[in-house]
Amino acid sequence: MSERGPQVSIYPGSFDPITLGHEDIVRRALLFSDRVIVAVAHTATQRKQGLFTIRERVELIRHVFHDEPRVAVTEFSGLLVDFARTHGARMLVRGLRAVSDFEYEFQMALMNRQLWPEIETVFLAPDVKYSYLSASLVREIASLGGDVAEFVDPAVLDRLQRKLAQK
Ligand code: ADP
């Protein structure tokens, strides 16, 4: 813990559902954070259409990190910088998979800094084996009957299969 108090990082996203790529980023963020808040964005702030409800996504992430007391999971709506300020967090964590992620991420980082100059965005590269993985690809493969067991936690796989069977 630094003299400025605990280093709280926020990892925002849609997490529909959480993948091993997301999990990898959270574990890397824990290497330099006292606490990581995984913040699931509400539908109004999402670009993509969802499969799981926000509550289901939060439950799944909590399950994945049930043995890690430094990880908190919550939903949020409204401005991310307001959410960060409320939680005493000055660091935003984002994952960068490929150059294609860069433009959007760079724009968001600079805009968030414009909205609150004290916020800093940190970009983390995942393990190379997750560098092509996205939740939307997992949803798509699973909905077409493909095997996604190597991309998600077993509990997520189970929920995914049950969810898709309902459809
Ligand atoms: P997705 O693009 O998989 O739907 P989100 O919208 O929930 O993911 O993204 C949340 C954050 O996690 C973003 O910064 C995104 O770039 C990052 N992320 C998602 N999947 C991975 C991965 N496999 N490796 C590294 N970062 C990732």
Tens-digit pLDDT profile for residues 100-144: 889 999 999 999 999 999 999 999 999 999 999 999 999 999 999
Low-confidence residues of the chain, pLDDT below 70?
A: 1-3, 43-49
Question: Would you call 27 exposed, middle or buried from its count of C-beta atoms within 10 A (0-12, 13-18, 19+)?
Answer: middle
pLDDT at 44: 60
Pairwise CA distance, residues 156 & 137, whole Å: 14
Residue nearest to atom 26 of ligand 1 (CA): 95
Ligand 1 centroid, distance to 13 Cα (angstroms): 7
Say yes or no: CB of residue 15 within 6 Å of ligand 1. yes
Pairwise CA distance, residues 156 & 19, whole Å: 8
Say yes or no: CB of residue 94 within 6 Å of ligand 1. yes
pLDDT at 3: 64
Ligand 1 centroid, distance to 3 Cα (angstroms): 31
53 Ramachandran zone, left/alpha/beta (phi>0; psi -120 to 50): beta
pLDDT at 99: 83
Residue nearest to atom 4 of ligand 1 (CA): 135
pLDDT at 50: 87
Ligand 1 centroid, distance to 133 Cα (angstroms): 8
Residue nearest to atom 2 of ligand 1 (CA): 134
- H/E segment holding residue 115: helix 99-115
Pairwise CA distance, residues 33 & 77, whole Å: 23
Atom of ligand 1 nearest to the CA of 132: 23
Ligand 1 centroid, distance to 39 Cα (angstroms): 12
